[in-house]
Amino acid sequence: MTTAATTPYRAIFCDLRSDTVFDILPLRDVTLDDYIGKPGSLTGTVPLPDEALAARARQVHEGRTSVYLERGGDLWWGGIVWTSTLASTDRGVLTLEIQAATFDSYANRRIIRTALDWTGAHSADQLDIVRGLWASLQHDEGGDIGVTFGDETSGVTREVAYRDGDETVFYDAITQLAALDDGFEHQITVYRDPVSARRVRRLRLGSPRITTGSTDLVLDMPGSILAYSFPADATRGGTTARARGASVNDDQAEESRPLVSDVQVAEDLISAGYPRVDLTADYNTVTDVPTLNSLATAELAASRGAVVIPEITIRLDDLVPPTLLGRTVRLRIHDAWWAEGLDARYRIIGVKVTPPQRGRPDTADLYLEEAV
């Protein structure tokens, strides 16, 4: 993002806990991304041409400052400034580079240090458990960063418990729960309340998937699609999967060995001619085989055969909405490879935005998966 008057972006810097704006600073060389199920990032550089701007930039405090990127009045990204780098060139040109991550990254910096129990009579819908984890995270003094919740349900009841002293990271607890078979997706989105215009940080949950909008976003090539790639990676896929859990051994005389799930096999792929390719994943806090079986089943479902994550680059214009994650797109491509024409539906699971600068257009890379 540049300081030119024609730029459609503004970088709004706030106090993390109160969300009080303290400045709108120029930010250049910006890249930002956001994903379903994992934190996104933002990097950019604040130019410091004089003492006045340097004094303003010194209000940015790593770990307690939030930043929003606004485009055309809509919030496209929001998160926490975690690191900064003050730099000077041999000519004395000063800059402050910042690196931020979306608000869900905060759960990666918090550890469960109180007993939480959703077992037996306290078992609950898995989405209620996620909200309960975030509520616990924000309950401690200094822990409330203003993340709000909805009332989504999944119809899937889980039994989980966390003990004080295990030092389980909140984000690990959430992602492990989401990774179970019949799990869910999670993301923290930012937007302005349509009535009050206040900035909102909202935990979005979807089971089995997060969906956005009721109509497809139609993208064509030739047309609004500038470029595309369809990488197919068999090194990331497999036809069997096993999950390994915590070491459980009550007999000190015996060697401690981790629990393992049953081996899950994609019999249909084997029958179709695929070779046996094995996947494994570690879950060091899981202490029961049924949960490991569920994790292995989900792992295989997500990584069957060759993993394909299509990516398309589009030009951003007023027809592209700010909330893209979870939206279904209809791709229509006609070229030498797609001689008969591709007409398929995908869901957006990741977005990387590159604001315009130095003659480069305003573009977005969209990461896709096949829509169901």
Over the stretch 319-350, which tens digit does the pLDDT of each residue have?
688 889 999 999 999 999 999 999 999 999 99
* Sign of the alpha-carbon torsion through 130, 136, 137, 143: positive
CA 187/CA 37 separation, integer angstroms: 6
User: What pLDDT sits at residue 307?
Assistant: 82
User: What pLDDT sits at residue 2?
Assistant: 40
Query: Which residue, among 355, 348, 356, has the nearest Cα to 312 in the 3D structure?
Result: 348
User: What pLDDT sits at residue 4?
Assistant: 38
Structure tokens at 7: 């730029």
How many angstroms separate the most distant Cα atoms in the chain? Answer: 73
The parts of the chain modelled with pLDDT lower than 70 are: 1-8, 249-254, 318-319
CA 349/CA 224 separation, integer angstroms: 19
Is residue 293 classed as helix, strand or coil in its secondary structure?
A: helix
User: What pLDDT sits at residue 250?
Assistant: 61
CA 123/CA 10 separation, integer angstroms: 45
Tell me which residue has tokens 């005389």: 253
The answer to whether the pTM exceeds 0.85 is yes
